[in-house]
Amino acid sequence: MSLSVWVRQLGHPDPRRAAIARAVLIAGLVVLGGLVVGLLGHLWSLVVAGGVLVAYALLRDLRVGLLAVIAVCYLLPFATFPFDVGVTPTFLNAVVGPVFLVYLVRLARHREEKFHLSGVGIALGIFMLWVLFAFSLGLTHSRLTPTILRRFLEIVLAMTLFYIVLNTIRTPRDLALITRALILAGTASAAIAILFYLLPVEMTVRIFNVLARIGYPGGFGALRWIEDNPENPMRAIGTAVDPNVLGGMMILAGGLTGPQLGAERPLFRRSLLIVFYLIQLVALFLTFSRGSMLGFAAALGVLALLKYRRLLIFMALGGIVLLFLPWSQEYIQHFIEGLQGRDLATQMRFGEYKDALRLIRRYPWWGVGFTGTPDIDLYIGVSSVYLLVAEHTGLIGLAFYLLILLTFLHTLWRTWRGGMPDPMLESILLGYGGALIGAMVGGVFDHYLFNLVYPHMSTLFWMFVGLGVATTRFIGQRQETLRNAQVHRTSGPVGAPRFVP
């Protein structure tokens, strides 16, 4: 009996034949489950079972895949599987890859009725072509390894996610669902970071030793301190491994949460939003990331000036709370030393900037690619996303990257100035705009938005860009509907005399 014939037996009109077919199916699943548990153990069996359920749901609805991407990016961004296929696949690969493949299949089968592109999408497409050119050029002087290839493809897929998000989010209800998920996941990530920070060090190390089974660093070496000196205050990392990366995640989450505090129609109850905001702010503070704090302040400051004056009150309350925390004086001193350039971390960063400018002067137009540098006295790596883009893709690539960001901001500004027909959509629009402005400011001092080591940050960044552009589309549709209704009321019924003021 072929598989298709047997599957049809499950719904056979004869109850006996259908019952037998279902019993065989259940018995087969039990045997298969026993084999999986015997081979992989209980923990990985649960992971496999969860993966099968997510894959099934993903085939039915791509939004499930986007929710899985959000969960992995915020909660387990560095988790890997316990096997090697030339490279060690990550949880992020396991959720982004299927989303990409399923969307391609649906596109090939013409299930996507219309492909939305937008000005941002055109600019991003040009940048992606240039990135591929720079990558190919870099192969002429450096050897490609499987790890570099995988990480490069992760960055490319992260950028491609912009188009998938833009075309998968079809209604304001979809948009609200994904936005709620981002706020909740960001808050959960912040809560985990605070918990790890407040637990006794030995218990936190024990947790990281458990996470080491799925690719995380274990032992006391997983913990981070200011200037890597255990005599200085410890820095919160949560499951983000790096405190600056956790700070960047809080910029995105906090920028999205902030407008909801003053929105007429918030996505959550306002009391819950206040709790979310404070958790995100405390987690950000405990990272001791000065660049992230500036980005967070820029995100909320822009939103307060544009629309939500109430945010100034929440920012002031948050600042007052932080001032009374035990670590406040050390943090303020650390911040001032950074502004004055006196601490070791800032001096090392200045050295990176100098070395990056030397590389860019030597290879100004198309950079050195992603596999290495042609000269032994140069290296790729600098704590600034803009200088890092220029190192990889040259000044031409940097110009394309800045064009994307400027096109995005112009699109949001033009939409917002055209009038907001829906308070909920307005708060979401400003949330994505504020979050990305904060990320852009934070990117002056950090490199995680375009770093091969942190593909989840690139994934979140381009997802936010896609969601922001999708929001402008929904608002534009509402604006067009209102304009048409206004014209209809002004012109009156067909054949009626038209009023001319």
Please give the structure tokens belonging to residue 435: 């979050």
With cut-offs at 50, 70 and 90, classify the pLDDT of residue 2: very low
pLDDT at 46: 54
Secondary element (H or E) of residue 235: strand 234-235
Secondary element (H or E) of residue 225: strand 224-225
pLDDT at 425: 93
Residue 373 confidence (pLDDT) above 50:
yes
* CA separation for the pair 26, 233 (Å, rounded): 55
How would you class 395 by CB atoms within 10 Å of its CB: exposed for 0-12, middle for 13-18, buried for 19 or more? middle
* CA separation for the pair 5, 21 (Å, rounded): 11
Please give the structure tokens belonging to residue 487: 């014209």
Nearest to 117 by CA among 347, 411, 493, 449: 411
Tens digit of each residue's pLDDT (9 = 90 or more) over 259-309: 998 888 899 999 999 999 989 988 998 998 888 888 998 988 888 888 877
Q: Are 183 and 268 in contact (CB under 8 A)?
A: yes
pLDDT at 3: 44
Instruction: Decide which of 443 and 230 is more confident.
Output: 443
* CA separation for the pair 410, 424 (Å, rounded): 21
Tens digit of each residue's pLDDT (9 = 90 or more) over 325-361: 666 666 666 666 665 566 666 777 788 889 999 999 9
pLDDT at 6: 46
* CA separation for the pair 450, 230 (Å, rounded): 30
Q: How many CB atoms lie within 10 A of CB 444?
A: 14
The helix-helix angle for 118-138 and 385-417 (nearest 10°) equals 170
Q: Are 228 and 348 in contact (CB under 8 A)?
A: no
Q: What is the mean pLDDT of residues 91-104?
A: 87
pLDDT at 386: 96
Torsion angle of the four alpha carbons 76, 82, 84, 88, in this order, in degrees rounded to the nearest 10 = 10
* CA separation for the pair 386, 443 (Å, rounded): 7
Average pLDDT along the chain? 83
In angstroms, what CA-CA distances link 290 with 333, 345, 394, 446? 11, 11, 27, 10
With cut-offs at 50, 70 and 90, classify the pLDDT of residue 143: confident
Tens digit of each residue's pLDDT (9 = 90 or more) over 19-62: 665 566 556 555 555 554 455 455 555 555 555 565 555 556 78
* CA separation for the pair 481, 461 (Å, rounded): 31
Amino acid, res. 42: H
Please give the structure tokens belonging to residue 165: 């998000």
Q: Which residue has the tokens 């995988």?
A: 150
With cut-offs at 50, 70 and 90, classify the pLDDT of residue 4: very low
Contacts of residue 335, defined as CB under 8 A and 6 or more positions apart, other chains included, come to: 290, 293
Instruction: Decide which of 15 and 294 is more confident.
Output: 294
Q: What is the mean pLDDT of residues 164-183?
A: 94
Residue 397 confidence (pLDDT) above 70:
yes
Q: Are 377 and 342 in contact (CB under 8 A)?
A: no
